Amino acid sequence: MHKGNALENQDREAVGPYHAPTGTLVGLSSIYFLLFLSQAIWRATLHTNAVENFGLDGGEVGLLFSLYYLPGVFCFLIGLAATRLQLYRLVALSCALLSTGFIIAGLSGGFAVLATATLMVAVGFTVFYATANAICLISGQEQTVAVSLGRMKSLGPLSGLCAAITIVAVFSPGLILEIVDTIDIGASLREQTTALILFSRQPDLDPAKLRVLLLVLAAALVLAAGLFAGMPRLRGKSGTYGQLRVVRLLAPYYVLNFLAGCRSAIFQAFALFVMIRDFQLPIHATAVLVFAGNVCNFIGYRCIGHALVYLRHKTVVVGLYALVMLNFLGFWYLLTRSGWARESVLITLCGLFLLDSLLFGMSVVTDSFLRTTGQYSNYVGDIGTGMTFFYFAAVLMSLLGSALWDTLGYHAFLLGSLVCLLAMITGQSLQSRTTARPAM
């Protein structure tokens, strides 16, 4: 059996990647958006649903969120699953896991049931993310694969925006009418502020409406998976694209994923925390800032993908992390040395927050780098292993976060700059077997 898989892998590497019909990538992008939308709605409603509708206490809610992040640490095992299943079947399996989780949560109650549903949703989402990226990598021309990857990944933040609108529309439709009535072309600053407060208000989660919403999402995922499975399949009906391996060639890829997890955890733990605790950023302003951050994420993913058409991966890595390092230094300087007025500091910090959101799509660079290695048969396993390094670093830094803040205070942002410097050094070692050429 292992010999047969090895021969299949050699055949794929000799022929090269499969160039999928446009419809396949469109179908994949549609499922990507739908699955991210479903996951965003699930995440946004999980805490309130667990506390208000199921009566769970703080410890049980904390355990639920721990379960949600647990599959990420074991992403490397996705490579083993991909040696037995075709990629389109992994997509269908992911949708089935999410659908089952939604159905279980929608039809039953209690901690055990909600924990099972949470774990199924988390596993399904993790498997899908690695598989979708692998399909995108093997399905296009080398010169444009980063653009395709950036476009697909940009649907993640877009789905987050749509999830927020969906939650308000389903659970508090009257709130939308209030917002519309409040806003007009000649609205005063006070009226605009009132509209922002209305928009940021958390709607009450009606258990019956949430149950229906989860069941609708489950049905939509099953339907989407069925339609995708009926599209033209990847080359080699019995072929697979997975393997569990850790190789020296991909050492920079693993390290960059680990450092990306550190960077993400440090910034997310401290940036908004500082603005809310020390500068009393109001809740409606926080909602608008997060909303604008998602828009910047959407733009950033696409811009980074286009940059990789003309620039080498190591050039983009160094450039992006140089900007992120300056961003961390900017936070540190404003909070410790600037001497500016509080209002000016807060406005500038918000600008730096949006800049970080614009530069957040580093995974477009690292994942598209795999295409340059020529190892077409191992994408799912390689991406899964990279995700393991990312999640491990994020969990580690999150656990150390409070201790770091108590010890370093505002100087914790300098630690983020150090992480960026290490990433810039690591990025210099990115070497490809093929030379990327600018698209004509």
How far is 414 from 34, CA to CA, in rounded Å? 38
What is the mean predicted confidence (pLDDT) over 335-345?
Answer: 88
Query: What percent of the chain has a predicted confidence (pLDDT) above 90?
Result: 36
How far is 239 from 94, CA to CA, in rounded Å? 19
Query: What percent of the chain has a predicted confidence (pLDDT) above 70?
Result: 80
How far is 400 from 398, CA to CA, in rounded Å? 5
Q: Which amino acid is at 264?
A: S
pLDDT tens figures, 201-253: 556 778 888 889 999 999 999 998 888 877 655 444 334 455 556 677 789 99
To the nearest 5 percent, what fractions of the chain are helix, strand and coil?
A: 80, 0, 20
More confident of the two residues 34 and 228: 34
Strands (DSSP E) contained in 343-426 are: none
Would you place residue 44 in the very low, low, confident or very high pLDDT band (cuts 50, 70, 90)?
Answer: confident
Would you place residue 2 in the very low, low, confident or very high pLDDT band (cuts 50, 70, 90)?
Answer: very low
Q: Which amino acid is at 77?
A: L
Three-state SS string over 84-124 comes to CCCHHHHHHHHHHHHHHHHHHHHHCCCHHHHHHHHHHHHHH
Residue with token string 């994020």:
394
Question: For residue 258, what is the enclosing H or E element?
Answer: helix 251-277
Q: Which amino acid is at 168?
A: V
Would you place residue 196 in the very low, low, confident or very high pLDDT band (cuts 50, 70, 90)?
Answer: low
What is the mean predicted confidence (pLDDT) over 19-38?
Answer: 81
Q: What pLDDT sits at residue 358? A: 94
Question: For residue 32, what is the enclosing H or E element?
Answer: helix 22-48
How far is 375 from 379, CA to CA, in rounded Å? 7
Residue spans of the domains in the chain: they are: 1-233, 248-433
pLDDT tens figures, 385-402: 899 999 889 888 877 877
Is 6 a residue whose pLDDT tops 50?
Answer: no
How far is 314 from 354, CA to CA, in rounded Å? 24
Q: What pLDDT sits at residue 285? A: 78
Question: For residue 407, what is the enclosing H or E element?
Answer: helix 379-408
Q: What pLDDT sits at residue 406? A: 80
Q: What pLDDT sits at residue 349? A: 94
Q: Which amino acid is at 375?
A: Q
pTM over 0.85: no
Do the first three CATH levels of 1-233 and 248-433 match, i.e. the same topology? yes
CB 306 within 8 A of CB 150: yes
Q: Which amino acid is at 28?
A: L
248-433 classified as CATH 1.10.1270.20? no
1-233 classified as CATH 1.20.1250.20? yes
Joined tokens for residue 66? 């721990």
What is the mean predicted confidence (pLDDT) over 55-62?
Answer: 75
Q: Which one, of 166, 366, 348, lies nearest residue 264 by Cα? A: 366
Is 102 a residue whose pLDDT tops 70?
Answer: yes
Is 258 a residue whose pLDDT tops 90?
Answer: yes
Would you place residue 435 in the very low, low, confident or very high pLDDT band (cuts 50, 70, 90)?
Answer: very low
